[in-house]
């Protein structure tokens, strides 16, 4: 599913806005330093005059001029650093500011799309624009153990530990997670925690509810004019760094959905691309519904995280109703 011209332009406008914002940030910092750090502006201005003077010497044949220029610029840089530190400012305070240091907010690295562009593209193509808002609310900083006790707490703590391990070892170990258990016990929340961390670390993440995933696949595969889009969609599903399928079991189970789920899982396993699945089904219900060939791939390649307890979403609604 390639971007339309308008979609591409909308992403590039975001990069232009970032560049403008960050350029203003650096200009404001420079003004602050010139105003509050005595002698810094004079040192900055002397760089140009020193460069011009040494340039004239080089043109006149002075063989030592270049070496002298390098030394003088080094000394000026060292003195500027000293002034910043003595004023309580970090050494890199006046460095260029970027949201993404890898592409310097251009969207491209070496002529290829940066991971930040790829995630923006994914969010736009798969209508995940609201995902960023969700991840602002559902992440490890908002995680709470207060809704659990006893065995429920032990299950949740174990799941959190596995999620943190999954994130920390994402680049070195191939891992998948299968969340299962009763409704409203934190499966989607933990999936979102992992998604937030992976995106912030530069990995591409595609999130689908199960029903939306199979609806999207069916809309493309059964329309002749959408064959190219279907191929692009499958390519993204098979190759993104992390695929999250939420609420598996809520979709209508058909030969098509079973076939597409098997193919997707199998392709990602072959490519060693990580998957997170959540379901409210018990393991027995899941096996009966998705057949042995799917169940065996999950049992052989996924970390299982069982979550139990009261429905936290209903609990929160009751609390809101009491206020």
pLDDT at 175: 95
The encoded tokens of residue 40 equal 């810094």
Q: Please check the confidence at residue 290 and state whether its pLDDT lies above 80.
A: yes
36-65 pLDDT, tens per residue? 999 999 999 998 888 888 888 888 888 888
The encoded tokens of residue 288 equal 């009966």
Measure the CA–CA gap between 129 and 133, rounded to whole angstroms.
8
The encoded tokens of residue 104 equal 């310097």
Q: What is the pTM of this model?
A: 0.75
Instruction: Give the pLDDT band of residue 136 (cuts 50, 70, 90).
Output: confident
Least confident of 123-137, 207-221, 285-299: 123-137
pLDDT at 154: 97
Higher pLDDT, 54 or 286: 286
Whether the CB-CB separation of 191 and 246 falls below 8 Å is answered with: yes
The residue ranges of DSSP E strands in 145-302, in sequence order, are 177-181, 205-209, 242-246, 274-279
Instruction: Give the pLDDT band of residue 7 (cuts 50, 70, 90).
Output: confident
Instruction: Give the pLDDT band of residue 217 (cuts 50, 70, 90).
Output: confident
The residue ranges of DSSP E strands in 34-139, in sequence order, are 108-109, 112-113
How confident is the model over 284-297, as a mean pLDDT?
93
96-124 pLDDT, tens per residue? 999 999 999 999 999 999 999 988 888 88
Identify the CA nearest to 68 among candidates 80, 82, 81, 50.
Answer: 50
Identify the CA nearest to 217 among candidates 202, 205, 227.
Answer: 227
pLDDT at 218: 86
Q: Please check the confidence at residue 318 and state whether its pLDDT lies above 80.
A: no
The encoded tokens of residue 281 equal 């089904």
> Could you tell me the residue ranges of all domains in the chain?
5-86, 126-322
* 3-class DSSP assignment, residue 306: strand
How would you class 205 by CB atoms within 10 Å of its CB: exposed for 0-12, middle for 13-18, buried for 19 or more? buried
145 DSSP assignment: S
Higher pLDDT, 227 or 244: 244
The encoded tokens of residue 189 equal 């929340």
Measure the CA–CA gap between 23 and 21, rounded to whole angstroms.
6
Question: In this structure, which topology does domain 126-322 adopt according to CATH?
Answer: Rossmann fold (3.40.50)
Least confident of 16-20, 141-145, 317-321: 317-321
138-161 pLDDT, tens per residue? 999 999 999 999 999 999 999 999
Identify the CA nearest to 32 among candidates 79, 111, 82, 88.
Answer: 88
88 DSSP assignment: T
Work out the mean pLDDT of the chain and round it to a whole number.
90
Instruction: Give the pLDDT band of residue 222 (cuts 50, 70, 90).
Output: low
Tell me the sheet residues that pair with 307. 181
pLDDT at 126: 72
Instruction: Give the pLDDT band of residue 184 (cuts 50, 70, 90).
Output: very high
Higher pLDDT, 148 or 127: 148
Higher pLDDT, 195 or 134: 195
Q: Please check the confidence at residue 85 and state whether its pLDDT lies above 90.
A: yes
pLDDT at 127: 65
Q: Please check the confidence at residue 320 and state whether its pLDDT lies above 60.
A: no
Token pair 């009966």 is at which residue?
288
The encoded tokens of residue 259 equal 């076939």
Measure the CA–CA gap between 243 and 221, rounded to whole angstroms.
20
Measure the CA–CA gap between 200 and 190, rounded to whole angstroms.
16
Measure the CA–CA gap between 289 and 161, rounded to whole angstroms.
29
pLDDT at 53: 87
pLDDT at 223: 61
């Amino acid at each position: 599913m390639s971007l339309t011209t308008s979609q591409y332009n909308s992403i590039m406008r975001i990069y232009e806005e970032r560049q403008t914002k960050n350029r203003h940030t650096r200009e404001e910092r420079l003004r602050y330093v010139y105003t509050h750090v005595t002698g810094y502006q004079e040192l900055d201005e002397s760089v140009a005059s020193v460069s011009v003077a040494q340039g004239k010497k080089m043109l006149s044949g002075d063989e030592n001029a270049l070496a002298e220029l390098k030394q003088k610029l080094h000394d000026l840089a060292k003195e500027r650093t000293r002034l910043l530190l003595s004023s309580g400012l970090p050494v890199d305070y006046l460095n260029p500011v970027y949201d993404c240091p890898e592409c310097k907010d251009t969207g491209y690295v070496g002529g290829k799309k940066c991971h930040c562009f790829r995630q923006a593209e994914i969010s736009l193509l798969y209508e995940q624009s609201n995902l960023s808002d969700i991840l602002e609310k559902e992440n490890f900083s908002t995680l709470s153990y207060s809704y659990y006790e006893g065995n429920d707490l032990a299950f949740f703590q174990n799941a959190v530990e596995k999620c943190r391990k999954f994130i920390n070892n994402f680049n070195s170990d191939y891992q998948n997670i299968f969340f299962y258990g009763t409704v409203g016990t934190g499966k989607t929340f933990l999936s979102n925690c992992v998604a937030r961390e992976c995106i912030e670390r530069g990995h591409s993440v595609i999130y689908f509810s199960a029903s939306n995933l199979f609806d999207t696949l069916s809309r493309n595969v059964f329309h002749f004019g959408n064959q190219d889009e279907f191929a692009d969609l499958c390519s993204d599903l098979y190759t993104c760094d992390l695929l999250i399928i939420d609420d598996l079991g809520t979709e209508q189970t058909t030969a098509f959905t079973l076939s597409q789920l098997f193919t997707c899982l199998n392709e990602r396993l072959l490519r060693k691309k990580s998957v997170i699945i959540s379901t409210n089904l018990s393991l027995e219900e899941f096996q009966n519904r998705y057949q042995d060939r799917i169940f065996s791939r999950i049992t052989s390649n996924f970390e299982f995280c069982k979550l139990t307890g009261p429905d936290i979403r209903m609990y929160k609604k009751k609390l809101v109703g009491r206020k």
